Every structure is written in structure tokens, then in C-alpha cells.
Structure 1
Amino acid sequence: MKYQELVDVYSALEATTKRLEKTEIISEFLKKLDTGTIEKVGLLILGVVFPAWSSEEIGIGGKLVERAVAEAVGTTQATVEDAVRDEGDIGLACIKLYAKKSQMTFFSQPLTIDFVFNSLRKLSQISGSRSTNRKIAVILELLSQASATEAKYLTRTITEELRIGVGDGVVRDAIAQAFDIDKKVVERAQMLTNDFSVVAKTAKEEGSSGLEKLNLTPGTPVKPMLAQLAPPLEEIIPEMGVAICDTKYDGIRLQVHRNNDEINIFTRRLENITHALPEIVRLFDEHLPHENYIVEGEVIATRDGKPLPFQNILHRVRRKHNVEEAIENVPLKVYLFDVMYYQVPMIDEPLKNRRTILESIVDTSVDEMNLSTMKIGTAENIKEIQELFETSIKEGHEGIMIKDASEPYIPGLRGKKMLKYKAEPETLDMIVIGGTYGIGKRGDFVGSYLVALRDENNEFKSVAYAATGLDDATLEYLTGKMKELELSTKGREIKVEPKIVLEIAFSEIVESPEYETGYSLRFPVVKNIRKDKGPMDVDTVERLISMYNTGN
């Protein structure tokens, strides 16, 4: 199938903001595809060629793409950079530049979806000497045969900025609609595989029954079950009946997979960080059975037996060089709290059963390997749960988690079956969409950050400006990132690509017509730069409104 047919779908999707229209457009397109093509489109429709959990990536920076565009249209890279600056986007710059294209490609064949997909995947395999030139050659082969609109979406896909307003939910609904399958069946299949190429292909070939057969596979990460804020203990624990309450650690959530002799470690964003944690791999190899499993826990950094702030563990897992040195300088501890697979899938088992299995397979004879500190909560022992909370805080942790002991593991969903009970002020994970430069001595720094939340169409709506909680080093770092992501600057105001996620603490949610959500935050404070989260991990407008209604 010609790539132009997919490009026409991209264009139609970009032209509407209505979720139902987007779903209809994708659904009708999926119906036309053969098995091989639908597998590729399941990823390309989201602007990727690898599933989210894959360690493979295209890995091409914007400057390299600009260089390839310059060669394809017969101009200078400086001209391409100017066009990107003017248009605010490499794709729109291509539309402008291809209109003035001075080079002609003779005897070119129309691009196909197969050729584009395979070429983009090939980029991840190119390394070694002259790798830059070889990557340029692959991109140039595509761009030289592309029309202006094809180049628009090719370059956006390469830079992972498709910008058509389509997220997992729309693709899920489109697959369900195209093949007349219950949305919940498609959603579960996606949660367990995290790969729309598999889900789309299975839906087409085998329908609902095929999707229902998909299950956890060690080595393929599953989206984590998510928590929401807990009401008072006296309210929630009696409601649950029996709750498993354990310490909430201020670290990085890990999902550890053993598949035969291979151990892989994934973050909550499904990023493979195995290479950064060799000592944790050894820990699991030595202190868990050599059986296939998927277990979940938290890893924290420690010093003198006490937990270090979250940023320490984040820097530790982001390190790519001198890892052995970091092992000495930043000792790590693991606290496991759940098992999703042990010899067989276990997510449909109640938590109390999963916890029993977990306790039976983990050897905690060394200080680095632990089970989360846990108590069973009932209406009769709420005082003990309050004591667990207070002890957790004293030891430098965030609070406690409260989980319904009778519930299964529900990947990717946030609900009342798993709650967080914290001493700190409530926070929201928010995306930066703009900012304001300071005045005087701080005129070179972006001092105030316009933060936003995600709406039902996965578009970002502004909520507040956050300007406190930032030291000079953080301001310098964030300003550098803002300049890298700059879309436009007018006076002291800067607009940026939505890439930076900040954890924002606040005292109160208030109504405000000044911001796109209709709400704002009183006394917003930047608590953390959440480098472990991406744009689709930020909190939603729906959650903001729910919190507002709950608090008033």
C-alpha cells in the first residue's frame, strides 16, 4: 500500500479535534489493510516504529533530519533551520521548502508503507564508523522520493513528533470499532502487550477470541496499576474490608522480568534500564528463583542506611558511563510489593494471594533485597495503620499505599482499589508548554513556567505559572531545555514543545478564567523534574476537576 494513503489519514486526523471523528477515520482505514500492513500501521498511526517498551529506537536528532532535508531539497541546512524557526515545526518547514525544491528525482517509485516502516527501523541498527552518513543516506532515500506532505509526516515520525492528536485511547477505540470488538477486550489486550501492532493484527485475524488469549509474557512489560489519593483511613479501610497497607517509597518503580536466563528491568514508563543497574540484575539472579516471573517494586538510593531524595536515584539510573563507580557512590535497595507472573500469569489473582506467592519466592537475607514493609488493615486496627504511616514518614519515606486485598492487578488504570496516603501536600505531574524570562540579573533564565494538564483528546490545557521551588542550578538546567524545545519567543514569553514534566505541589485548586482549564493552583511550587515521565504520563484535566470537587 502506498504511504500517501497513510499520509491522507494523518492529514484528516490533524484537521479535526473531535475524538469520535478521529476514531472513525482510523477505523475505516484499518478495515482496508491486509495483515502485514495493519501490523505496521498499528505503530505508525502513533508516530512510532517500535512499541513503547522496546529498547530499540530511531535515535535521530533534529539537526540530522534538517541536514537530510537540506540535501533532499537542494538548499543549505541554515535555510532549513530558518524554516523550522519560522514555521515552528520540521513538518511544516518541509511543506514550505518542498514548494521551492530545486532538485528533481527521476524514475522514483512511490513510497510504500512497508518501505517507509522498514527503512525507519533500519536506522536503529546503524552504528559504528560513518554511521551518521549512513543514517543520512537512509533518510535521504525516503525524502528524495517523498511529496511535500509525505515529507511533512516522515520527518515528524523520525523526530517522534507526529502531532495529529492521536493517543492510545483513540487507537484502541478504532480497533474495537473496525472489527466489532468490545473496547474493554481491546484495552486489556493492549495493557498486557503494550504493542498495538500485535493488538491490531490479532483483532483482524482472530477477533475478540484472539485478543482474549493474549496475556502477560515475561520480557514484555505491562503498564503498571496506578493509584489515586486516599481519603481518611477511617473511611477507606472499612470500605475495602481488608486492605494491604505498605510503605510508599520515594524511588523509581521497577518491573523486573525473568525470561529463562534473561533478566530485564523496566520503569513505569516501560523504559528498559537493565544496562544501568547491573548490581540489581545480579541481586535478582541470586535471590529469586530461576523461574519465569514478573515482579514489581521500588528501588531507592541510600546513604548510611537512610533514603536519599528521588533525584539521586534518578541520576543513578540515567547514568550511561562509569556505572561501576556509581554503584559504589549510590548504593541501591529494592523493596518488592507485587508479583504479576510466576510460572503462569497471576494478575487475575487477588492481591492477598499474589503477596503470599511473592513472600515465598523472595530471599531477603541480604540488606539490598527487601519486601515492602506491610500490615493488613481492617476496621478494627486502623490505629496500627496510622502507626505504619507515621513510622514510614519518620524513616524518610513518602507515606503508605492502601490496596484492596481482594482485587486483581489492573494494568494501566487508576482507581479506588489502590490508594496513596501521603503527608506531603498533594501534587500533580504537569507538562511545561511555555514560560517567562526573568528580569535584571535573572534575565537570562526562564523564571516562571506555564504548566498544563492533558484533556480527553490528549491536548494540553494550561493551569498555572509555577515560579518557586527552583534553585539557580535547576533554573539553568530548565532554561537550557526550554531553549532546546523552543517553538517561538516574543518579548519575555517563550513557547516550547511539551516535553518537560514537572511535579507541582500546591495549596488549593481555584476557579480561574485566565487559564484554558478554567482552573488554577494557589501557591504552586516545583517539587521535582520528572525525567522518568513523558507527556502522556501527566495528570489529566478530569483529575484536576475531580480534586477540586472533592475539596470543596
Structure 2
Amino acid sequence: MLLADVVATSAALAATRSRKSKIAALAELLTRAGPGELPAVVAFLTGQPTQGRIGAGWRTLAELGAAPAGAPELTVAQVDAALGEVASASGSGSAQRRTVALRGLFARATQDEQRFLFRLLTGELRQGALEGVMVDAIATAAAVPGEVVRRAFMLSGRLPVTASAAVTGGERALGEFRLALGRPIRPMLASPAESLEEAIAEHASAIVEYKMDGARIQVHREGDEVHVYTRTLREITGSVGELVELVRALPCRSVVLDGETLALSDDGRPRPFQETMSRFGSTRDEQVRALLLRPYFFDCLHLDGEDLLDAPLRERNNALRTVAGAHLIPGESEPGAPAEILESALEAGHEGVMVKSLDSPYAAGRRGRAWLKVKPVHTLDLVVLAAEWGHGRRTGYLSNLHLGARDPDGGPPIMVGKTFKGLTDELLAWQTKTFPELETRRDDWTVYLRPELVVEIELDGAQVSTRYPGGVALRFARVVRYRPDKQAHDADTIDAVRATLKG
């Protein structure tokens, strides 16, 4: 398959808002791709190479200076191989070798293909093929139920792998995916509820648990071997030795647990989220390394040889209680207790509560209504699109943030407002240092960014506005914190913003 075929489909996706049309265009292309090409086609059209980051930034690509080819000749396989060569370059002179390889690739690409590759490699490819749209396209191309594809994707964690299984082996091949110890699965997510009463009324039977201001973790144990992953499936085992030792000591042979971890102050209250996240990277800061993390587990997906994903939460919760002991997240399923649990969670310094249906299986990939989050303070997770240079005391710092909500149909983030409120001196310094690494362009006042960073925003709802393309604008928006544990596809949608409209 020619790269030009992928580029043409990308353009067709960008030209329509219709989810149905996007799915049809993708499915048609997937049915034409050869088995060896399919993973790269899926990866390219969901906005990333199969290799992930290849070690070449925006400036390197902008300065390649390769004249475009006159006619399309590049195949998908050739592009994937060339990017693999770039990604594998290491050691002395690797930057030069990457530049030479990229220049050779771009010289074989037409102008449209060059533009596509540039956007792909800089993270700017937002033509509307988000994971949810691609999952439905894979199901259409393979003529299998969408739920079967979603489940396989949850278990594999890799969309190109899931696509290959679906198209080459159909429902049978997808059904062979199992929970594998040491391979993380995509986490189940929650939807917001307007009130505790609404959340309780939505489920026939439910458990109410603390919603903590911590970081999501998934732990796997088989014998003495333990792995710890973040919500984005990044392994952090080497950075969290105390969690490894704790899981290794649990009364079981094998287990997969879902939960939160956070650092606590001496009085038992949660430390700022950024302090918890600081433990997830490699650091030589002794003060950071000395900060101990405490886990709070709220789900058990596997225990001693038995997979529990399809079991209702009440069964998973029973298994959890047998293995997690003192490390359970606080909560109760008894009637009449929800308001007290919410009050005690807030008094302890946490965000609110989760209300979970006891009849629900573990399902990832969509924000369903089986898990509902209740937070008295209304917040949204939004994507940072740009930042303006500050004035007065903030002169020389990137300050005022442009904020975007996720387009549920896969288009680029939709701008819904700006704010500079809540930015501490530390955050201003961090933004000014970090944002140029994500820069795509700038003018006299603004630096525009690849839409990768997610920030939690506190707000007093939204209001109807013609100023922004989504038809709404944030009211009294204020930065709470950055969310390095989330990616742009985890951000709240424009529909979630519209749901907060006043009056």
C-alpha cells in the first residue's frame, strides 16, 4: 500500500464531522492493507508511528530542507522501516544519522506526504481517527462486533496488534486475548455525576468509595515477580520499590490489582499530586526518593490463577478483600452511608467519592455509567493548546493558557477558554521551560503547542459564547494542577463542558 493512500484517507477524515463517514473511510482502507502493513496503517492514522517517539523534534524536521518528490512512490512498509531506523539510532553521531535518514525519507515523499509525515512525527496529526473511531472501523473491516474488538484492545493495550488479529483472524483471534500477568490492561474509567443522590439513584446496588487525589496504578504479581504501571500503561516498577515489596508480601501467588497511590503528610493527609507523581520518574533527588507512597486498592482483576474481569464488582470486591487487607480504599456498600462517606472523604483531604455498580464487569475504553465520580468542586481535564507571554510581574514567563476540550468524534481539541489563574511561580517557570519543547509555531504574543499536556481546571460552569468554536466558554476557570498521568485522549469532551452550562 502506498503512503499516498493513507494520506488521502487522512484528508477525508479531516474533511468530515460525521463519525459514520470516518468509520467507513477507515474500514475501507484497512480492508486494502496487507497483513504486514496493517499495524503501521492503524498507528499512522491514530497519530503516532509504530515506534512511538523517534528522537527527532519539530526543529529538526523543519530544517530538513528536502525538496518534495514529483509523484507518490513511498509505500507504508518503506516509511515504517525508515522510521524504525531513525528510532534505533543511538550513541555518538546518532543525531546526525537520524537527520540523514529523515532527509532521505522526506526527499522520496510528495508535498502532501511530507506534510502528513511532519504532522505525524510532531504529534500534530489530528484528522479524526481517535482510538474509539478506529476501534469501530476495525470492527467494520473485520465484520466482528465492536465490543469484541474493545475487549481485545483492553487486554492487549495495543491497537495495531488488535487490528491485525481482527482482520486476519476475526472473532476467534480476538477471543484468544487473555489477561497476561506482566502485561498491563487499559483501565476502566468513570463518568461525572451531578450529585451523590443522582449517582446512587442510577444503580440498583452500589458501593461508595473515597475518590483520592492520587495517581492511578495497576500492579501485577506472579510469584516474586512484581510490575507496577501507571494509567497510561507506563512501567514504573524501578521507581517505586516500597510498592513492589508491599505487593510481594500480599497473601497470594498471583494477582492483578487496580488502585491509587499517594504520598501522605505526617498527619495522614494527602500531599500535593505533583509530589506523588515526582516518584514515578528516575531521580537523584534524595528528598524525592525519601517520599514514601501508600497504595489504596479498589479492584481485583486476577487472583491465584483466576481472571475476574467478567465477574461482577461484588465478586471482584470479595477477592480484593481477601488479598489487599489494610490496603483497601475506604468505602462501604451499606445503604444509608453514602453521605457520611462523602463527608469523611472531604474531611480527610480527598476529592470526593466514587459510586460503582456492584453488578458491573470490568470494562475499559469508554467512560460508561457503571462508575460515577462525585466531586463537590467542579473540575474538568482539558488540553493545553497554547500559552501567551505574561505582563507585569509575569513578564518573561509563558502564562495565560489556551484550553481545549476533546472532540468525541476524533477531531482536533476544541478551544473553550483561557486562564492564568492558579498558576504559581513554580508552574510559571516550568511552563516557560517546558512549552518550547512542544512548540509548533509562535507569534508575537503566543506560543502554540502540540496538544499533549492535560491540565485540571476548576470552574464555575460554562456559558454560551460565540467566541470559541464549541459555542461555550469556561466561567471563572482556575488551574488546579497538571495531569502527567493523563494523555490528550483522556481529556474531557466538549459534551462534558456543555453539560456544565449555567441556566
TM-score (normalizing by structure 2): 0.89
User: Compared with structure 1, are the counterparts of its residues 198 and 488 closer, same or farther at alpha carbon in structure 2 (3 Å cutoff)?
Assistant: closer
Give 2:220's aligned residue: 257
User: Compared with structure 1, are the counterparts of its residues 442 and 49 closer, same or farther at alpha carbon in structure 2 (3 Å cutoff)?
Assistant: closer
Give 2:162's aligned residue: 199
Give 1:400's aligned residue: 353
Q: Distance in 1 between matches of 2:232 and 2:362?
A: 17
Give 1:534 deviation, angstroms.
Answer: 1.9
Q: After alignment, is 350-359 or 250-259 more displaced? A: 250-259
Q: Distance in 1 between matches of 2:375 and 2:274?
A: 19
Give 1:466 deviation, angstroms.
Answer: 1.4
Q: After alignment, is 17-26 or 401-410 more displaced? A: 17-26
Output one character per residue of 1:310-343: Cα deviation in whole Å (capped at 9) or x when no partner: 11112221x3232766331x11101111011232
Give 2:392's aligned residue: 440
User: Compared with structure 1, are the counterparts of its residues 236 and 532 closer, same or farther at alpha carbon in structure 2 (3 Å cutoff)?
Assistant: closer
Aligned partner (choices 404, 407, 410) of residue 455 of structure 1 = 407
Give 1:431's aligned residue: 383
Give 1:98's aligned residue: 68
Q: Secondary structure at the match of 2:457?
A: strand
User: Compared with structure 1, are the counterparts of its residues 98 and 249 closer, same or farther at alpha carbon in structure 2 (3 Å cutoff)?
Assistant: same
Give 1:28 deviation, angstroms.
Answer: 1.4
Give 1:169's aligned residue: 132
Q: Distance in 1 between matches of 2:257 and 2:77?
A: 37
User: Compared with structure 1, are the counterparts of its residues 239 and 145 closer, same or farther at alpha carbon in structure 2 (3 Å cutoff)?
Assistant: closer
2:279 is equivalent to residue 279 of structure 1: no
Q: Distance in 1 between matches of 2:96 and 2:141?
A: 42
1:164 partner amino acid: Q
Aligned partner (choices 501, 520, 533) of residue 473 of structure 2 = 520
Aligned partner (choices 73, 83, 105) of residue 142 of structure 1 = 105
Q: Secondary structure at the match of 1:98?
A: coil
Q: How many percent identity over aligned positions?
A: 32
Give 2:174's aligned residue: 211
Give 1:301 deviation, angstroms.
Answer: 0.9
Give 1:286 deviation, angstroms.
Answer: 2.7
Give 1:349's aligned residue: 311
Give 1:503 deviation, angstroms.
Answer: 0.9
Q: Distance in 1 between matches of 2:286 and 2:425?
A: 30
Q: Give yes or no for contact 2:39–2:50 (8 Å, CA) kept in 1.
A: no
Q: Distance in 2 between matches of 1:435 and 1:131?
A: 32
Aligned partner (choices 105, 124, 141) of residue 178 of structure 1 = 141
Give 2:54's aligned residue: 58
Give 1:355 deviation, angstroms.
Answer: 1.1
Q: Distance in 2 between matches of 1:258 and 1:116?
A: 38
User: Compared with structure 1, are the counterparts of its residues 256 and 518 closer, same or farther at alpha carbon in structure 2 (3 Å cutoff)?
Assistant: same
Q: Distance in 1 between matches of 2:47 and 2:79?
A: 12
Q: Distance in 2 between matches of 1:296 and 1:518?
A: 38
Q: Secondary structure at the match of 2:499?
A: helix
User: Compared with structure 1, are the counterparts of its residues 495 and 39 closer, same or farther at alpha carbon in structure 2 (3 Å cutoff)?
Assistant: closer
Q: After alignment, is 26-35 or 429-438 more displaced? A: 429-438
Give 1:504 deviation, angstroms.
Answer: 0.9
User: Compared with structure 1, are the counterparts of its residues 239 and 438 closer, same or farther at alpha carbon in structure 2 (3 Å cutoff)?
Assistant: closer
Aligned partner (choices 333, 355, 367) of residue 376 of structure 1 = 333
Q: Would you say how many aligned residue pairs link Structure 1 and Structure 2?
A: 500
Give 1:542's aligned residue: 495
Q: Give yes or no for contact 2:379–2:456 (8 Å, CA) kept in 1.
A: yes
Q: Give yes or no for contact 1:244–1:403 (8 Å, CA) kept in 2.
A: yes
Q: Give yes or no for contact 1:242–1:377 (8 Å, CA) kept in 2.
A: no
Give 1:79's aligned residue: none
Output one character per residue of 1:490-518: Cα deviation in whole Å (capped at 9) or x when no partner: 45345433233221111232222222221
1:359 partner amino acid: R
Q: Give yes or no for contact 1:246–1:375 (8 Å, CA) kept in 2.
A: yes
Q: Distance in 1 between matches of 2:477 and 2:129?
A: 30
Give 1:367's aligned residue: none
Aligned partner (choices 63, 69, 75) of residue 112 of structure 1 = 75
2:451 is equivalent to residue 504 of structure 1: no
TM-score (normalizing by structure 1): 0.82
Q: Distance in 1 between matches of 2:108 and 2:354?
A: 55
Give 1:146 deviation, angstroms.
Answer: 3.4
Q: Give yes or no for contact 1:255–1:294 (8 Å, CA) kept in 2.
A: yes
Q: Secondary structure at the match of 2:382?
A: strand
User: Compared with structure 1, are the counterparts of its residues 455 and 387 closer, same or farther at alpha carbon in structure 2 (3 Å cutoff)?
Assistant: same
Q: Give yes or no for contact 2:123–2:450 (8 Å, CA) kept in 1.
A: no
Output one character per residue of 1:188-207: Cα deviation in whole Å (capped at 9) or x when no partner: 32233232222222222222
Give 1:43 deviation, angstroms.
Answer: 1.9
Q: Distance in 1 between matches of 2:186 and 2:256?
A: 12
2:31 is equivalent to residue 31 of structure 1: yes
Give 1:422's aligned residue: 375
Output one character per residue of 1:251-287: Cα deviation in whole Å (capped at 9) or x when no partner: 1000112356643222222222223223322322233
Q: Give yes or no for contact 2:58–2:439 (8 Å, CA) kept in 1.
A: no
More helix by share: 1
Aligned partner (choices 292, 296, 306) of residue 331 of structure 1 = 292
User: Compared with structure 1, are the counterparts of its residues 162 and 523 closer, same or farther at alpha carbon in structure 2 (3 Å cutoff)?
Assistant: closer
Q: Distance in 2 between matches of 1:237 and 1:439?
A: 47
Output one character per residue of 1:410-444: Cα deviation in whole Å (capped at 9) or x when no partner: 21222332122234x11001112234433334333
